[in-house]
Chain A
Amino acid sequence: MDAPLVDVPGLRWIPNGQSVLYGPLLELADRLDRRFLGWAADWGAPDHRFPTFLPATVLERIDWFRSFPQHATFPASLDADDDNLAAFTDGEPVDGEGRVHPTRLAAIRDVLTPAACYHLYDHHRGRRFDGPRYFTTRNTCFRRETHYVPLERQWSFNMREIVCMGTADEARTFLEKATADVDRLVAGIGLPLRWEQANDPFFRASKNPAYLMQQIDPTKFELMFDDRLAIASTNLHHDHFGRAFDIERDGEPVRTACIAFGIERWLSAFVHRFGPTGPWPDLP
């Protein structure tokens, strides 16, 4: 495996799993996102900018917390009771090792976005569509991990997604064309990539029926850089989100599919393939 990227111009690594981007690397990130937005525009997909907080009730609709508890990150705040706040300030708010010592916490009702597209299903809850619809969104996503690697495995990272809501055929056609668009791009710029069947990282996978279902009905494919790093994925959800969020197409639960791009991981692929300072290829 290659050494972690730390001495890259335009990257400052924060060891708790976050990175600062600036200069040429930030410009490359923006250029990549514009390429992804170009594909979204081809679908007529309007962009959406959602908050980073997602109500926990939204993810509870899809049993997310039981499937991926290891990834959850919650925004926590102190109970606003005056005595509670005074106890906090009278104590040691932050110790010498950087650990916060909260007093009583307020009820937690939100989770930091673990995947950008969840907002879109909630945003369109209850909608009735009479034709295919396409949407795009980008968000800072948060996934707690056991270890972190600069640009490749981060606690917070940027994800761009394009989502199709339609019939089963429309969802499949969307994934086929979206995959072909990506294939044309990566072939043109010479990145060593291939698509690979994948599974979501379910907690206690062997006990989760959704994991078994992914074995027998592959719905997730990842674009692997150098046979080791997934920089994009396609996901066919069947009617999972359509049922959970009461979204219909012609009287039936809508079928959904998405393609997701992990922007920092694309940066890692470019830096590994073309060097930390480029020149990086154009993105036609």
Chain B
Amino acid sequence: MTGAEERDALRAWIRAHNPDVPPGEPADDTPIIERRYLTSLQVADLLLYIEEVRQAPVDPRRLKAGVFKSIDAIHATFFAS
């Protein structure tokens, strides 16, 4: 997967789990927690999906402040390295 495809996969997952997300949202830099596109009940499921997409487990030590702030932040944390 390319970086753009990974971001689109994350976007599609968020949209699929939140029918109320407006068309075109979330952009790469949209604050998805502040907008409530991602809730506490969904974080664990999104983590599993991230592991599925990256085909590798997530190191729990990476679960720090800000890593789920936006698609950009998720991608930089779990895909870019």
Contact = CB atoms under 8 A, between A and B. Distances in A.
A238 B39 CA distance: 10
Nearest to A252: B36
A216 B64 CA distance: 5
| Chain B interface category by residue count | 10 to 19
B1 interface: no
B65 A209 contact: no
Which of A209, A210, A216, A218: most chain B CB closer than 10 A?
A216
A196 to B, nearest CB: 13
A87 interface: no
B63 interface: yes
B65 A212 contact: no
A208 to B, nearest CB: 9
Contacts of B63: 212, 215-216
Interface residues of A, number: 13
Interface string A199-242: 00000000001101101111000000000000000000011000
Interface string B21-55: 00000000000011010011101100000000000
Contacts of A216: 33, 43, 63-68
A120 interface: no
Given A168-B34, A217-B33, A238-B33, A197 B65 contact: yes
Which of A197, A215, A218: most chain B CB closer than 10 A?
A215
Interface in A165-184: 168
B44 A212 contact: yes
Contacts of A238: 33-34, 36
A217 B66 CA distance: 6
A237 B64 CA distance: 18
B77 to A, nearest CB: 10
Contacts of B64: 215-216
Contact of B65 (A168, A217, A239, A253): A217
A54 B36 CA distance: 28
Nearest to B67: A216
Nearest to A207: B44
B40 A209 contact: yes
B40 A213 contact: yes
Q: Which 4 A-B pairs have the closest CB atoms?
A: A213-B40, A209-B40, A216-B68, A217-B33
22 contacts: A168-B34, A197-B65, A209-B41, A210-B40, A212-B40, A212-B63, A213-B39, A215-B64, A215-B65, A216-B33, A216-B43, A216-B63, A216-B64, A216-B65, A216-B66, A216-B67, A216-B68, A217-B66, A217-B69, A238-B33, A239-B36, A253-B36
